[in-house]
Chain A
Amino acid sequence: MSAEQNGAPAEAVPKPTEAPKDAPTETPKQAATNENEKASKEAKSGADSKADKTEPKSSDAAGDKKLTGAELKAKAKAEKAARRAQQKTSKEVAKGEAAVSSSPGQLGPSASEVKSKGKGKDGASAAAAAGRPALPKAPPSAVVTEQKIQIPECFSHLSMARRIPMTQADKDVHPSVLMLGQQMATFTIDESITRLKATMLAFRKVIESYITPPGNVLARHFTPHVLNIQIEYLTACRPMCFSMGNAIRWLKLQVSKIDMDASEEQAKKELCQAIDIFIAERITVADEYITEQGAKHIKDGDVVLTYSRNTLVEKAILYAHSTGTKFSVLIVDDPYEQFGQQLAKTLTDEGIKVTYSGDFGGLRNHMRRATKVFFAAEAMFSNGAMYARAGTCDVAMTAHELGKKVIALCETINITERVATDSLTYNEIDPERSSAAAFRLMFDATSDKYISLLVTELGSVQARSAPDLLRKLEEFN
Chain B
Amino acid sequence: MAPPKGGYAPTLDKFLDTLKGRPLEASIESLVSLLKRRQIQGSEPCALATAHILLQVVVMDKYTDVNQLLARIQGVARRLVAAQPRELVIGNIVRRVLGLIRDEALENRNEAGSDESISSPVRDASPPPMSASVSSLNEAAPLAKMGRPGLMNALTRTQSMFNLLADPDTTPPIWSTGASPAPGSGVSTPMADPQSTDVKALRSEVIDGIEEIMDEIRQVDEQVQAYSDIIIHPGDYILVHQPCKTVQRFLTRSKRKCTVFLAVDPSAHPAEDPYASFRKSMAATGSVVVNIMNTGLMAYMSRVNKVILSARAIMGTGSVLVDGGASVIARAARELGRTVIVIGGVYKLSPDNQIDQETATEWGNPSKYVNYSDGRMVGQVTVKTAVSEFVPSELVNTYITNLGAHSRDHLHAIVNDHYKEADIEFDLYGTIRK
Q: What is the minimal beta-carbon distance from B324 to any residue of chain A, in angstroms? A: 3
Q: Is A223 an interface residue (CB 8 A)?
A: no
**Contact at A439–B332, with CB atoms within 8 Å?**
no
Q: Is A75 an interface residue, CB under 8 A from the partner?
A: no
**Interface residue? B383 (CB, 8 A):** yes
Q: Please state if B298 and A393 are interface contacts (CB–CB under 8 Å).
A: yes
Interchain CA distance A443-B294 in the complex, whole Å:
10
Asked if B220 is at the interface of the complex by the 8 Å CB criterion, the answer is no
A433 at the interface (CB under 8 A from B): yes
B245 at the interface (CB under 8 A from A): no
Cβ contacts B277-300/A at 8 Å (1 or 0 each): 001000000001111111111111
One digit per residue, 1 when the CB lies within 8 angstroms of any chain B CB and 0 when it does not, for chain A 345-363 equals 1001100011111111111
Contact with B along A307-339 (1 / 0, CB 8 A): 000000000000000000000000001111010
Interface residues of A in 351-377 (CB under 8 A from B): 353-366, 368
Chain B residue numbers with a CB within 8 Å of A357 are 383-386
A438 at the interface (CB under 8 A from B): yes
Within 8 A of B (CB), among A390-409: 390-395, 397-398, 401
B294 to A390, Cβ gap below 8 A?
yes
Bitwise, A434-452 to B at CB < 8 A (1) or not (0) is 1001111101110000000
Would you call A364 and B327 a contact (CB within 8 A)? Answer: yes
How many A-B residue pairs have C-beta atoms within 8 angstroms? Tell me. 163
* Chain B neighbourhood of A334, CB < 8 A: 294-296
Q: B295–A391 contact, CB under 8 A?
A: yes
What are the residues of chain A within 8 A of B358 when measuring CB–CB?
A: 364-365, 368
Q: Does B376 contact A (CB under 8 A)?
A: yes
Which of B170-178, B197-205, B363-371 lies at the interface with chain A?
A: B363-371
Contact B331 A398 (CB under 8 A): yes
Question: Which of these, A391, A395, A397, A424, contacts B302 with CB under 8 Å?
Answer: A424
Q: Smallest distance from the beta carbon of A179 to chain B beta carbons, Å?
A: 28
For A439, list chain B residues within 8 Å (CB): 290-293
Q: Does A356 contact B381, Cβ atoms closer than 8 Å? A: yes
Q: Mark B301-337, 1 if CB is under 8 A from A, else 0.
A: 0110000000000000000000111011001100100
Contact B294 A359 (CB under 8 A): no
> Which of chain A's residues have a CB closer than 8 A to the CB of B291?
437-439
- Residue B377 interfacial (CB < 8 Å): yes
Instruction: Verify A360–B299 contact, CB threshold 8 A.
Output: no
Q: B424 CB to closest chain A CB, in angstroms?
A: 27
> Contacts A362-B384, A434-B293 given: A152-B288 contact, CB under 8 Å?
yes
CB A345 to nearest CB in B, in angstroms, measures: 5
B380, A354: Cβ atoms closer than 8 Å? yes
CA distance A365 to B331 in the complex (A): 14
**A441 and B380 contact, CB distance less than 8 A:** no
Q: How far is the CA of A361 from the CA of B391 in the complex (A)?
A: 11
Contact partners of A79 in chain B: CB under 8 A = none
Number of interface residues, chain B, beta carbon within 8 A = 49
A residues less than 8 Å from B361 (CB atoms): 361-362, 364-365
B185 an interface residue at 8 Å Cβ cutoff? no
Considering the complex, which residues of chain B in the window 389-407 have a beta carbon less than 8 Å from any beta carbon of chain A?
Answer: 389
How far does the Cβ of A57 sit from chain B's closest Cβ, in whole Å? Answer: 66
Residue A114 interfacial (CB < 8 Å): no
Q: In this assembly, does A293 line the interface, its C-beta being within 8 Å of a C-beta of chain B?
A: no
Q: In the complex where A358-B368, A391-B294, A437-B289 touch, is A397 in contact with B331 (Cβ < 8 A)?
A: yes
B237 an interface residue at 8 Å Cβ cutoff? yes
B127 CB-CB contact with A under 8 Å = no
**CB-contact partner of B292 in A333, A361, A427, A440, under 8 A:** A440
Q: In whole angstroms, what is the CA distance A441 to B303 when docked?
A: 13
A440: chain B residues within 8 A (beta carbon): 292-294
The answer to whether A335 and B267 touch (CB under 8 A), given A356-B382, A358-B370, is yes
Which listed residue (B237, B293, B303, B359) contacts A336, Cβ 8 A?
A: B293
From B237, B289, B324, B374, name the one whose CB has the most chain A CB atoms within 10 angstroms. Answer: B324
Q: Contacts of B386 on A, CB cut-off 8 Å?
A: 357, 359, 361-362, 365
Q: Let me know if B302 and A345 touch, CB within 8 A.
A: no
Interface residue A87 (Cβ < 8 Å from any Cβ of B): no
Take A355-B382, A439-B291 as given contacts and tell me if A362 and B259 are in contact as well, using a CB distance cutoff of 8 Å: no
Q: Check: B266 CB closer than 8 A to any chain A CB.
A: yes
Residue count of chain A within 8 Å CB distance of chain B: 51
A338 surroundings in chain B (CB, below 8 A): 369
Query: How far is A392 from B294 in the complex, measured between Cα atoms in Å?
Result: 11
B150 within 8 A of A: no
The distance in angstroms between the C-alpha atoms of A361 and B365, with both chains bound, is: 12
Residues of A within 8 A of B289 (CB): 437
**Residue contact B293 to A360, C-beta cutoff 8 Å:** no
> What 1/0 mask marks residues of chain A from 410 to 450 whose CB sits below 8 Å from any chain B CB?
00000000000011100100100110011111011100000
B residues near A298, Cβ cutoff 8 Å: none
Q: Which of A136-177 contact B (CB under 8 A)?
A: 152, 154
In the assembled complex, the CB of A427 is this many whole angstroms from the nearest CB of chain B, namely 7
Whether A344 touches B381, Cβ cut-off 8 Å, given contacts A364-B389, A393-B298, A423-B298, is: yes
A383 at the B interface (CB under 8 A):
no
CA distance A439 to B300 in the complex (A): 11
Q: Which residues of B contact A152 (CB under 8 A)?
A: 259, 288, 290
Residue B270 interfacial (CB < 8 Å): yes
B380 x A348 contact (CB < 8 A) = yes
Question: Is A341 interfacial (CB-CB < 8 Å)?
Answer: yes
Query: Do A359 and B298 touch across chains, with their CB atoms under 8 A apart?
Result: no
A427 to B359: give the CA distance in the assembly, Å.
36
When the two chains form the complex, which single residue of B299, B323, B380 contacts A443, counting CB atoms closer than 8 Å? B299
Interchain CB contact under 8 A, B363 and A362:
yes
B387 contacts chain A at the CB level, 8 A cutoff: yes
> In the complex, which residue of chain A has the Cβ closest to the Cβ of B332?
A394
In the complex, per-residue mask of A170-210: 1 if CB is within 8 Å of any chain B CB, else 0: 00000000000000000000000000000000000000000
CB distance from A99 to the nearest CB of B (A): 21
A365–B357 alpha-carbon span in the complex (Å): 11
In the complex, what residue of chain A is closest to B366 when comparing beta carbons? Answer: A358
Q: Give CA–CA (A393, B327) in the complex, Å.
A: 14
- Give the complex CA separation of A170 and B328 in angstroms: 46
In the assembled complex, the Cα of A333 lies from the Cα of B383 at a distance in Å of 11
Q: B295 to A335, Cβ gap below 8 A?
A: yes
Question: In the complex, what distance in Å separates the CA atom of A380 from the CA atom of B363?
Answer: 36
B377 in contact with A359 (CB, 8 Å): no
List of B residues within 8 angstroms of A336 by Cβ: 266, 293-295
Specify which of A348, A360, A361 is in contact with B376 (CB 8 Å cutoff).
Answer: A348
Give Cα A445–Cα B389 distance, bound, in whole angstroms.
26
- How far is A315 from B358 in the complex, measured between Cα atoms in Å? 33
Q: For residue B423, give the distance in angstroms from its CB to the closest CB of chain A.
A: 30
Q: Which residues of B contact A443 (CB under 8 A)?
A: 299
| Chain B, Cβ-Cβ closest to A335 | B266
For the A-B complex with A359-B369, A362-B384, A393-B296 known, give 17 more contacts whose Cβ atoms are closer than 8 Å.
Answer: A335-B295, A336-B293, A338-B369, A341-B377, A345-B381, A354-B382, A356-B377, A356-B381, A358-B266, A359-B295, A359-B386, A390-B296, A394-B328, A397-B335, A427-B299, A439-B293, A445-B299
Q: Which 3 A-B pairs have the closest CB atoms?
A: A361-B324, A358-B369, A391-B296
Q: List 25 A-B contacts (CB under 8 A).
A: A154-B259, A333-B369, A334-B295, A334-B296, A341-B370, A349-B376, A353-B382, A357-B385, A358-B266, A358-B368, A358-B385, A359-B266, A359-B386, A362-B324, A362-B386, A364-B358, A365-B359, A391-B298, A394-B331, A397-B331, A398-B331, A424-B302, A433-B293, A440-B293, A441-B300
Q: Which residues of B contact A (CB under 8 A)?
A: 237, 259, 266-267, 270, 273, 279, 288-300, 302-303, 323-325, 327-328, 331-332, 335, 358-359, 361, 363, 368-370, 374, 376-377, 380-387, 389
